[in-house]
């Protein structure tokens, strides 16, 4: 592996474990067993390292959100998108844990992240359209699809910040992959009102796998369980 790639991988590892603000270029160089001068030969400063890591994250998310144009989408597709996006969020978790600070300190990153957000919102909206064509969701207006896309994006990108505050007294790396992926529960909760009846039970069962511990282990929800009981009795 080339030194440049090693620097990026090591930096990502350290940023995720300790937080970007707790890691210097000297820390990165020492961890790799290279001189700071060798590191600066490849990157002018830490901001350049972060910017390139973000570009790799951007490519990964763009890949995850690719939408097939030869078929409608189904439940397996929906869960693939959610699992993949949250896996990517875990792999690059420092970005969203320190996002506001990072954007405030790098104009390039701020501009690119704005464009990245726009593309992701468009992809999420098109995923909703594909899932509607596949019979998973009721037909929605374009305005509703745009609002739902934004709500889903807000949950995904804010879940790490929520966990950070919920675990404020614990170590930086105390948040687990399972806790992060509990954000899927919140996304599915947003989508439940728009599901078509044949998919309610399957999605409810899937959703329970991700129930955040702070909500307890109560099976089902009052409102949705009531809807299901009513439908079952009809």
Cα 147 to Cα 144: distance, rounded to the nearest angstrom: 5
Distance CA 55, CA 104 (A): 17
The whole-model pTM stands at 0.85
Q: Which residues pair with 195 in a beta bridge?
A: 137
Instruction: Return the exposure string of 92-108: e unless at least 16 CB atoms fall within 10 Å of the residue's CB, then b.
Output: bbbbbbbbeebbeebee
Mean pLDDT value across residues 28-33 = 96
Condensed to tens digits (0 to 9), the pLDDT of residues 207-222 reads 999 998 765 544 445 4
| Domains of the chain as residue ranges with CATH | 1-44 (1.10.10.60), 46-218 (1.10.357.10)
Q: Which segment of 44-48, 94-98, 162-166 scores lowest on mean pLDDT? A: 162-166
CB count within 10 Å of CB 55 equals 15
Per-position DSSP letters for 62-79, written without gaps between them = HHHT---SSS---HHHHH
**Res. 234: pLDDT tops 70:** no
Flag whether pLDDT at 100 surpasses 50. Answer: yes
Mean pLDDT across 39-53? 96
Instruction: Give pLDDT tens digits for 165-204.
Output: 876 655 667 788 999 999 999 999 999 999 999 999 999 9
Q: Tell me the mean pLDDT in the region 8-28.
A: 95
DSSP 138: -
Tens digit of pLDDT for each residue in 65-84?
Answer: 999 988 899 999 999 999 99
- HSE-CB for 209 with a 13 A CA cutoff: 8
């Amino acid at each position: 592996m080339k030194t440049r790639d090693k620097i990026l991988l090591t930096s990502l590892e350290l940023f995720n474990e300790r937080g970007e603000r707790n890691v210097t270029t000297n820390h990165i160089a020492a961890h790799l067993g290279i001189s700071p001068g060798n590191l600066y030969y490849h990157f002018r400063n830490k901001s350049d390292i972060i910017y390139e890591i973000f570009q790799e994250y951007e490519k990964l998310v763009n890949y995850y959100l690719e939408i097939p144009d030869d078929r409608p989408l189904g439940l397996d597709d929906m869960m693939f998108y959610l699992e993949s996006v949250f896996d990517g969020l875990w792999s690059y978790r420092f970005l969203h844990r320190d996002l506001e600070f990072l954007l405030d300190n790098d104009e390039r990153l701020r501009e690119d992240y704005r464009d990245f957000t726009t593309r992701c919102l468009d992809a999420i909206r098109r995923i909703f359209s594909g899932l509607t064509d596949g019979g998973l969701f009721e037909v929605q207006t374009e305005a509703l699809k745009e609002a739902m896309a934004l709500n889903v994006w807000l949950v995904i990108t804010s879940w790490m910040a929520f966990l950070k505050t919920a675990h404020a007294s614990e170590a930086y790396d105390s948040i687990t992959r399972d806790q992060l992926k509990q954000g899927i529960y919140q996304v599915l909760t947003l989508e439940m009102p728009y599901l078509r009846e044949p998919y309610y039970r399957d999605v409810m069962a899937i959703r329970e796998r991700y129930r955040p511990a702070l909500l307890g282990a109560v099976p089902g929800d009052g409102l949705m369980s009531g809807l299901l009981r009513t439908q079952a009795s009809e």
